[in-house]
Structures are given as C-alpha cells and as structure tokens.
C-alpha cells in the first residue's frame, strides 16, 4: 500500500516540514507529499473551486480518498489504525489523505472523497495538519505492528 498526502499550499522549509519529514521517514508504507497551489489572487468560492480542480487532477487512479475535514468522523488513534489495517487487508494499493486550503473543500472534493475524517473540531493551519496527520500515520503503523509507541 502507498500513501499520498495531498495538500493545498506549500509547506516550504519550516519547523512543521521537519516534523512531517521525521514521521514520514518512519512509515512502513511508501509515502509521498503532493502540494497544489492556486497562485492567482482569487477568493471565496472561486478559489475553493479552483483548488478543488487542482486536487482532483492530483488524485491517482483507483485511490481510496480520505478528506481531512473538521466536520468529518472523529476517530481515536486505535480506530484510525484499524481503518488502515482494513484498507490494507482489502487490497487498496493507494490511500490519499487530502488537506484543503483556507476556504475548505469544494463540493466536488466532498463528493469524491470516500471518507471524511476530522483530526479535531478546531481549525488548524494546513502546515500543522500535515504534521498531525504524519504523526497519526506513524502512530497507526506502530499500533498495527504492536510496538509500544502508543499509550492509551
């Protein structure tokens, strides 16, 4: 199974980027980060739509798509690990975790996503969400392997 973190915006050389790199390097699954960015100074629904188009183009064929959305389903770390284990067992070759921009996801993205997951009901900057997701993926891998990293 391969994992793609598909995100709106560039993380650049930041402390959050270092955290993402640290956790991604520990993952047992090949993982890549794909960033899309709308550079034109557009706002609101127009920007949301354009970012949605960029995200849709970047989704690999046949991928199972998980949108990170504050209104999505909230999972404990163990349940998240169980989901990943199930997706592996079901033979999914590609998981894509999408992180939206400041205006959120377009309707097309909401409809394309196979699952909506919330890391929190709070709103977080996209750079922090990447680091939080990377850590939770690492935590899930340790739970699946029986490693004692996770404390309940």
Domain residues for 95?
2-145
- How much is the pTM? 0.93
100 within a domain of the structure (yes/no): yes
Total number of domains constituting the chain: 1
Q: Are 100 and 109 in contact (CB under 8 A)?
A: yes
Res 150: pLDDT = 65
CB 70 within 8 A of CB 89: no
- In-domain check, residue 17: yes
**pLDDT score at 151:** 67
For the segment 90-100, what is each residue's pLDDT rounded down to a tens digit? 999 999 999 99
- Tally the residues of the chain: 152
- Other beta carbons within 10 angstroms of residue 31's beta carbon come to 21
- State the CATH number of the domain containing residue 20: 3.40.1280.10
100-127 pLDDT tens trace:
988 889 999 999 999 999 998 888 888 8
Determine contact, residues 9/126, Cβ cutoff 8 Å: yes
């Amino acid at each position: 199974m391969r994992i793609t973190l598909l995100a709106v915006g560039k993380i650049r050389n930041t402390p959050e980027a270092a955290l993402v790199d640290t956790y991604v390097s520990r993952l047992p699954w090949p993982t890549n980060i794909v960033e899309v960015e709308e550079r034109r100074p557009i706002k609101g629904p127009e920007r949301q739509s354009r970012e949605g188009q960029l995200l849709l183009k970047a989704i690999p064929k046949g991928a199972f798509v998980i949108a990170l959305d504050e209104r999505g389903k909230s999972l404990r770390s163990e349940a998240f690990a169980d989901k990943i284990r199930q997706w592996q067992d079901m033979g999914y070759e590609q998981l894509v975790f999408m992180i939206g921009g400041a205006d959120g996801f377009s309707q097309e993205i909401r409809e394309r996503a196979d699952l909506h997951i919330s890391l929190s009901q709070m709103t977080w900057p996209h750079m922090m969400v990447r680091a939080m997701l990377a850590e939770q993926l690492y935590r899930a891998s340790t739970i699946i392997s029986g490693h004692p990293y996770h404390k309940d």
